Structure 1
Amino acid sequence: MKTVPFGGATAPNIIAGMMRIADKSDDEIRALYDAAREAGIDFFDHADLYGFNHPGGGVHHCERRFREALNLSGTERSEITLQSKCGIIAPKVFHYDNSYEHIVSSVEGSLTALGTDYLDILLLHRPDALVEPAEVARAFDDLEAAGKVRQFGVSNHTPRQIDLLKTAVRQPIIVNQVQLSLTHAPIFTQGLASNMIGYDDSVTRDGGGVVDYSRLHGITLQAWSPFQKGFFDGVFFDSPDHPELNAELDRLAAKYDVTPTAIATAWITRHPAGFQVVLGTTSPQRIADAAAGSDLVLTRPEWYALFSAAGHTLP
């Protein structure tokens, strides 16, 4: 398993996301966890929101299911990285909340649900238009001082939103989790089609160069929904919407003796920004398939061929 720079250390370039375990049995969750560990993945991504709409679930539901199914020993807990997110409020009135009170209470809930004394990383799940950077800073300071959160980051934030937080937050922002797949790649397409009139790909959608900004400031980018066609509208594998892409995925899969899942993973990990791919699957086999792409280095022609086959503009 290839590693990438991460907050002064290193971490695997593939992460196991726990968003979809709400309705899984203890045995299924353990099988998913074991498959990840066997593949070299020791990094698990959560959020307080995950499982909120599951019957009998609620906020922190997936975190609780993770704890109940695994019952990790102290030694096993120390061997893994637990990351969680807060800031999206779904019940009743959907909104975002990055206030001091919500950040601190969410972390307390995550610690209880996960059965741990600390989170390795806490991310702000979405930008809050009403954010007060001083409140975020106070929450981060208190959580760090209490030993409840070790490092901090964001998700779905633009460079300017990160700069705003940094006017008050003293801890390094070490992560930005953003949506990225072969077919949903505005953080790549805008830079390549910049200044080209008449092309949708030339429109800036990421707040101004989130990839370049992250490389300049030592922020690790995490790619969520790495196989989605767009925003939660299904995967691109075998999709009639993307025949050229699937043909190219199949060709490269045959060349490297892996699955198309491995090739789609390798397309993201090939980028020199050092992405981590966040898998949302509940299939142990899909985890193994993706892990096969961790060390696979596509050539430049292969990377760009996939980019073009996905329908993006190369001027």
Structure 2
Amino acid sequence: MTNKTISQFIPNASELIYGCMGLGGGWNNNPITKADINQAHTVVEAALENNINYFDHADIYTFGKAEQVFGEVLKTRTDRDKLIIQSKCGIRFEDEHGPKRYDLSGQWIEHSVNKSLAQLKTDYLDVLILHRPDPLMCPQEIASTYKKLKSQGKVRFLGVSNMQQHQIKAIQHALSEPLILNQVEMSLLKNDWVEEGIYAGNAQGANINFTPGLVEFCQHEKIQLQAWGSLCQGLFSGADITGAETRIKNTHQLVQSLAAQYSTSAEAIVLAWLNRHPANIQSVIGTTNTARIKACAQVSKIQLTAAHWYALYESVKGCELP
């Protein structure tokens, strides 16, 4: 079980989250098949066998099919109360009304929640996440809609994704209870969230694409940071890196070496790099390979030394610190 910030709201939440974006048969208009449903059964069982009871969805994942196949799994189970299910809303693809856009209007949030509940075959979401910041969003409207959905028993908690602290503050100001999480791309490879602190006041950091102070803000406000993309698309744990940059190949070798030193998996080393940070980051893993799910779960048994954390960071940077 987790010692993450999320435990103040959801005490039984697992340390890792299983991300369901890969379920449902792919980003196409093909109907779900028996094989897709069987795959969902298999990965859910693998997650639970490895003490992962937290599942991450979005209404758009594989055009809704990810939620649909998960719903087929859920309707066969009697342990819904032991599972943590979160889903995201707010991204709309191009349709007859307009181009791809973000929509955090009350009407669309309510529509998305009802659709997700129907697809997931559950009565409630443990967490509703606002998927992307909508420049046209009205915090008071979001708050009113959330209050309505919560009073109806459809949503327990509210979180955000891909937002900076000023957007979070604007929404939080309209709410009568705290936002509990912010899901952001964070990994050994996508490490701007570390870089912006290290290069503060340094001209070399002028082009870093991360919001200064977001990590510290979330720590201070006790907002759980969740990391999507945490496994770096497998670059350091099995993906083909034949044509990769030297720094990627070197980091791959270092990850393998540390895995042997810690008697663990390469996946666990990559995730342990996130875990070592005091922000209590909760990683979302999206592999559908059951062996890799098991390999990821080994992260709970290790803690990197500071020297090894810096060695990985410097290796993936491809140069020493300033």
User: Using the alignment, how far apart are the partners of 1:155 and 1:122 within structure 2?
Assistant: 10
Please report how far the alpha carbon of residue 204 of structure 1 lies from its aligned counterpart in structure 2 after TM superposition.
Answer: 4.9
Gap runs ≥5 in structure 2: 26-34
The 2-side partners of 1:27 and 1:61 are apart by 13
Q: Percent identity?
A: 37
Correspondence 1:182-221 to 2 at 5 A? 182-197=188-203, 199=204, 201=205, 203-221=207-225
In 2, are the aligned partners of 1:14 and 1:294 still within 8 Å (CA)?
Answer: no
Q: Do the aligned partners of 1:12 and 1:43 also contact (CA within 8 Å) in 2?
A: yes
5+ residue gaps in structure 1? 53-59
Could you tell me how far apart the structure 2 residues matched to 1:37 and 1:212 are? 32
CA distance in 1, matches of 2:263, 2:215: 30
Match of 1:160 among 163, 166, 171: 166
Contact 1:49 / 1:88 at 8 angstroms: preserved in 2?
Answer: yes
Q: 2:56 aligns to what?
A: 45
With normalisation by structure 1, the TM-score equals: 0.91
Pairing of 1:47-196 with structure 2 (within 5 A): 47-52=58-63, 60-73=64-77, 75-92=78-95, 93-196=99-202
**Alpha carbon RMSD of aligned pairs, Å?**
1.7
Aligned 8 A contact 2:197 2:212 in 1: no
Partner of 2:266: 260
- Count of paired positions: 301
The 8 Å contact of residues 177 and 224 in structure 1, kept in 2 or not, is answered as: yes
Structure 2 length-normalised TM: 0.89
Match of 1:13 in 2: 15
Q: Secondary structure at the match of 1:285?
A: helix
Bigger helix share: 2
Deviations 1:204-240 (A, max 9, x none): 53322111000000000000011236xxxx7354523
- Partner residue of 1:314 out of 294, 303, 321: 321
Distance 2:9 2:80 in 1: 20
The separation in 2 between residues aligned to 1:206 and 1:169, in whole angstroms, is 25
- The alpha carbon displacement at 1:3 in A equals 3.5
Q: Which moves more between the two structures, 62-71 or 217-226?
A: 62-71
Whether contact under 8 Å (1:17, 1:46) holds in the other structure is yes
**In 2 relative to 1, CA 91–26 (structure 1 residues): closer, same or farther, beyond 3 Å?**
same
Cα separation, 2, equivalents of 1:94 and 1:228: 26
Quick one: which amino acid aligns to residue 257 of structure 1?
Answer: S
Structure-2 change in CA distance of 1:149 and 1:70 (3 Å): closer
**1:67 CA displacement:** 1.1
Measure, in 2, the Cα distance between the counterparts of 1:97 and 1:133: 12
CA deviation map 1:56-75 (0-9, x unaligned) = xxxx32111111134243x4
- Distance in 2, Cα, partners of 1:235 & 1:251: 15
Residue 284 of structure 2: aligned partner: 278
The residue number in structure 2 matching 1:55 is none
After superposition, the C-alpha distances for 1:1-30 in whole angstroms (9 at most, x for unaligned) are 544121434322210000011115222211
Contact 2:50 2:297 in 1 (8 A): yes
Provide the C-alpha distance between the structure 2 equivalents of 1:188 and 1:134, rounded to a whole number of angstroms.
33
Other structure's SS at 2:288 match: coil
CA contact (8 A) 2:23 2:65 kept: no
How much does 1:270 deviate? 1.5
